[in-house]
Chain A
Amino acid sequence: MRYLPLTDTDRHSMLATIGAKSIDDLFVDVPAEARLSGPIAGLPNHASEMAVERHFSNLARKNMAASHHPFFLGAGAYKHHVPATVDHIIQRGEFLTAYTPYQPEIAQGTLQMLFEFQTQVARLFGCDVANASMYDGSTACWEAISMAGRVTKRKKAVLSSGLHPHYVSVAKTMAHFTGDALDAALPTLEAATDADRLLAAIDDETSCVVVQYPDILGRIADLSDVAAKAHAHGALLIAVVTEPVALGAIRAPGEMGADIVVGEGQSIGVGLQFGGPYVGLFACKEKFVRQMPGRLCGETVDATGKRGFVLTLSTREQHIRREKATSNICTNAGLCALAFSVHMTLLGERGLRDLATLNHANAVRAAERLSAVPGVTLLNDSFFNEFTLKLSKPARPVVHALAAQGILGGVSLGRLFPEASELENGLVIAVTETVTEDDIEALAAALKEALA
């Protein structure tokens, strides 16, 4: 078997060194009744590289790949062009096959990269500090709610109705077991966000308010009033960013008073990957740093005074604090953080701003063209690269009809909010730099036909 270097001669000589007669002698502690006598049921024996590759090629062909079709899906995962350099760098074995940098003298590559990543994320979000990443945006969002509970010693979180429904589901799952109270609501098909509901819900028992920016329907609203009200009541504002490219065009949540900003970093460097692995972004004000979850990389010096980097403040973490840790997280999303950081370095401020401008311009043109289709109205007053269309009939069958014509035409609100029939005519459309004029025309024509 090509992954196993030992030869039978090696095995015999090693058993002799050990003083064992056979390999079974080494499994002597496994009780006889626990030993599997035969092979694993149904699993064939080892296969050649070519055979395995062929199996996957056959399965891959059964999927519609985003790049092969007019493509308009978003709702928490966005299709952006990822420069070839990114994949080359993350496939270098020194990054790909390293572990968590527990031995900093021989892990400065990963550590310096994480320090750069933390700085990039903090600056993008307008925060003081950021951690070395979380699993994804949805789990980062719950970790932020949990952290707000530790900071404020309160257990009631107010969730905006514009928060991604999967993020709300994750929070509901966890809150059910931790005994936290969540004030959540379904969105309405209106141009205005539910800022008024949030302002009314904040009281002296509120630990945090959670607002997605831009929200699940693509709407953008100033967070300043919610931040002010939250702070007046001793609560924190958590902003959730599922499309970080937007922050090349619009104000950073930290600038508007957010105390914790979390996000999904997938749209920079990582790609779609059918939902994972992605990379959770987590940033906050400096005064909360000791309540943060996850790994943190910090600057220091070595014994000769040279600058170097280490994992630090680990007394917050599970391997030291065990049941008193701020979170149970161990692994983060190291390689996806690298992909994010490499892509962000290639972009730089100028590239990010240009990319954001291009996304917005494409989205504006698409919104104009699509809302001219009979039976289609544009919901949003404001948006970045994603907006919601109200169709004259339920959007789910329309999405399937579009797919049958080779067009991946958005995410229906029926898929996202199956319990809310009043939202079923909503269709969320994302338009990035990858969308062409022809793609928009194809979608407009197919929509017209589907709604006729």
Chain B
Amino acid sequence: MTINQSGWRPEMGANADSDVATYTGNRALMLEEALIFEIGTTDTTGVDLAPAPKVASRLGGLERHTPLGLPGLSEPETVRHYTRLSRQNYAIDLGLFPLGSCTMKHNPRLNEKVARMAGFADVHPLQPQETVQGALAVIQELAVWLIELTGMYGVAMAPKAGAHGELCGILCIKAALEARGEDRPVILVPESAHGTNPATAAFAGFRVENIPATAEGRVDLAALKARLGPDVAGVMITNPNTCGLFERDMKAISDAVHAAGGYVYCDGANFNAIVGRVRPGDLGIDAMHINLHKTFSTPHGGGGPGSGPVVLSEALAPFGPIPFVSLMKDGTYKLVEEESTGELHPQTFGRMAAFHGQMGMFTRALSYILSHGADGLRQVAEDAVLNANYILRSLEDVLEAPFAASGPCMHEALFSDNGLAEGFSTLDIAKGLIDEGFHPMTVYFPLVVHGAMLVEPTETESKATLDQFIGALRSVARRARQGDEALKSAPHFAPRHRLDETLAARKPVLVWKEAELAQAAE
């Protein structure tokens, strides 16, 4: 079956929008690229396989007779296709990526190298344990450092991402309450929380109630205390919070929640601000996930894979998930799975994913921790906070910073859209930054600030980069205050102008269809 061999969409040349149209729609190094379904064919392949020996089929009469419609490309075409696509992406390797609460820091290449060592990358999860002692040692070593860095009692390494870690912590709380024979249906979540917090609590069967913030952007301790009671299982708090502020009352919050019989979950998304300087265990936290792809530099990969180990207090650790690694008296590492739980981990809430967690992320995170060491990690937090405050103080005269008066920020600086010209919004500032060669900050989050702009530079940016970013953002902010109409159609220099998201949602096209099929579907 042939799909389309022309290599170019017919409308490409005609749609070129510029004074000087090109035949291809390309702009020198800015290269358009069609879909694999438009350039590949189902009888092209980029792999050479040995011929299969002739055998009698044992497929049980279920041989496939229909075509799959999967196009192939030769190796050179494949390399070119994806290389061209890659050049339409912004990335940390290209410049500052100041997404607040996402911690887009440099991804060291040593981490990539060690993760690819055959002894880690080419090992099956169900190999006999005596053949994977080195891999188990890596998991155990990382676990030890995560416990030390957080001052907690134990750690669950199984969760596959931050939100999965939240789920792990919440299930520990649920299991602990069950063991106490209590039914507490409510989880309290501050208004400024990441959306995953309420979604996780609901996914695990809890009812979510919001707790308000004070005028200075922190959890309202009095309101929280007033709501605590025998129906409250616990709270989910982000610290430092999503306004970029440290929750000064954290210990008091923990004490109040514990006194009322609940547990404290801390969203560790912002751990980068305090690593090496503050240990959550000293603040009365019962569970906290650690996004290895944030604080510990594993790559974000265009949206995963992540990894979200959860550190646990002594009260919750007995309920943590299987499997986990245990160092035995004879010096060997044992993977505690279903069969040994009765003996070694009888109260576990069970398994939350197949196999043993994100090994490829563990090697990278451990490589990062060992590279930085105790002195380096402390410097990480200090430089991350210094960079954020430098941005806050360098911009607060052109962008409103709603909480700046109350003191320094932690690792991220929060601004609002107050003071922009009529009809201009946060979105215009974000798109203007794209033309300046920067990825925009997190926009419209947290929800507690109007038109929020949350800037997290991280510690891996130089002062020169920060100064250039500050200059660019000052320029864009001034244009938005003065009502520069050109800003409303930004970006002008990106591979695409603003995209019609309403159309995408109203008439969802989620898979490619042959032209005639797509037309018939209209």
Contacts and interface: CB of A to CB of B under 8 A. Distances in A.
A121 B71 CA distance: 12
Contacts of B389: 14, 18, 20, 26
Interface residues of A, number: 217
Interface in A350-399: 350-352, 354-355, 357-358, 360-365, 367, 380-384, 399
Contact of A325 (B195, B297, B360): B195
B500 A170 contact: no
Contacts of A92: 82-83, 86
A65 B119 contact: yes
B55 A275 contact: no
Contact of A272 (B72, B124, B303): B124
Interface string B462-500: 110100000000000000000000000101001111111
B364 to A, nearest CB: 10
Contact of A106 (B42, B68, B90, B367): B90
B370 A47 contact: yes
Interface stretch (B223-231, B256-264, B345-353): B345-353
Contacts of B19: none
B199 interface: yes
Given A349-B69, A349-B70, A53 B113 contact: yes
B357 A303 contact: no
Given A26-B389, A274-B132, A298-B505, A97 B277 contact: no
Interface in A308-333: 308-310, 312-315, 317-325, 327-333
A164 B354 contact: yes
B125 A59 contact: no
Contact of A103 (B51, B90, B162, B463): B90
Interface string B139-153: 000000100110000
A80 B380 CA distance: 40
B17 interface: yes
A173 B175 CA distance: 11
A384 B108 CA distance: 41
Given A27-B385, A106-B439, A139-B160, A14 B376 contact: no
Contacts of A212: none
B301 A139 contact: no
Nearest to A319: B195
Contact of A433 (B50, B300, B462): B50
Interface string B237-255: 0000000011010110000
Contact of B356 (A15, A274, A318): A274
Contact of B148 (A26, A41, A79): A41
Contacts of B137: 59, 62
Contact of B70 (A14, A120, A176, A333): A120
Given A323-B202, A367-B58, A276 B359 contact: yes
Interface stretch (B203-211, B309-317, B418-426): B203-211
Interface string B61-76: 1111111111111010
Nearest to B368: A3
Contact of B499 (A172, A302, A351): A302
Given A3-B371, A4-B459, A364 B55 contact: yes
A285 interface: no
Contacts of B198: 318, 322-323
A407 to B, nearest CB: 11
B119 A67 contact: no
B246 A29 contact: yes
Interface string B357-389: 111110100010111111111111011011101
Contacts of A400: 128, 130
B181 interface: no
Interface in B279-296: 279, 282-283, 293
A358 B305 CA distance: 31
Interface stretch (A198-206, A228-236, A335-343, A443-451): A335-343
B124 A133 contact: no
B373 A46 contact: yes
Contacts of A43: 145, 148-149, 369, 373-374, 377
Contacts of A20: 389, 408
A223 to B, nearest CB: 9
B373 A23 contact: no
A89 to B, nearest CB: 5
A273 to B, nearest CB: 5
A94 interface: yes
B131 A408 contact: yes
B220 interface: no
Given A92-B83, A297-B510, A23 B352 contact: no
A23 B199 contact: no
A64 interface: yes
A5 to B, nearest CB: 4
A258 to B, nearest CB: 13
Given A95-B86, A255-B66, A323-B208, A350 B42 contact: yes
A116 B91 contact: no
A382 B303 contact: no
B335 to A, nearest CB: 10
Contact of A19 (B108, B393, B497): B393
Contacts of A45: 373-376
A260 interface: no
A63 B131 contact: yes
Given A30-B274, A101-B302, A116-B512, A331 B293 contact: yes
A165 B338 CA distance: 10
A176 B319 CA distance: 14
Contact of A169 (B87, B338, B356): B338
Contacts of B270: none
Contacts of B459: 3-4, 6
A295 interface: yes
Contact of B278 (A35, A66, A88, A338): A35
A124 interface: yes
Contact of A99 (B60, B97, B378): B97
B389 to A, nearest CB: 5
A6 B381 CA distance: 13
B68 A328 contact: no
A75 B505 CA distance: 39
Given A46-B376, A106-B89, A301 B500 contact: yes
B426 to A, nearest CB: 13
A272 B351 contact: no
Nearest to B341: A418
Contacts of B133: 62-63
Given A56-B363, A222-B62, A349-B72, A313 B54 contact: no
Nearest to A411: B126
Given A47-B373, A299-B504, A170 B390 contact: no
Nearest to A359: B52
Contacts of A42: 148
18 contacts: A27-B385, A29-B407, A34-B278, A60-B114, A98-B302, A103-B90, A109-B88, A119-B511, A124-B70, A252-B68, A274-B121, A275-B359, A302-B496, A310-B501, A331-B306, A332-B303, A351-B45, A352-B68
List of 10 A-B pairs having minimum Cβ-Cβ separation, nearest first: A348-B72, A60-B119, A382-B60, A275-B355, A335-B301, A93-B93, A275-B125, A62-B134, A418-B339, A277-B305
Given A73-B124, A105-B491, 8 more contacts: A18-B389, A28-B407, A33-B282, A94-B90, A96-B107, A304-B497, A305-B15, A334-B304
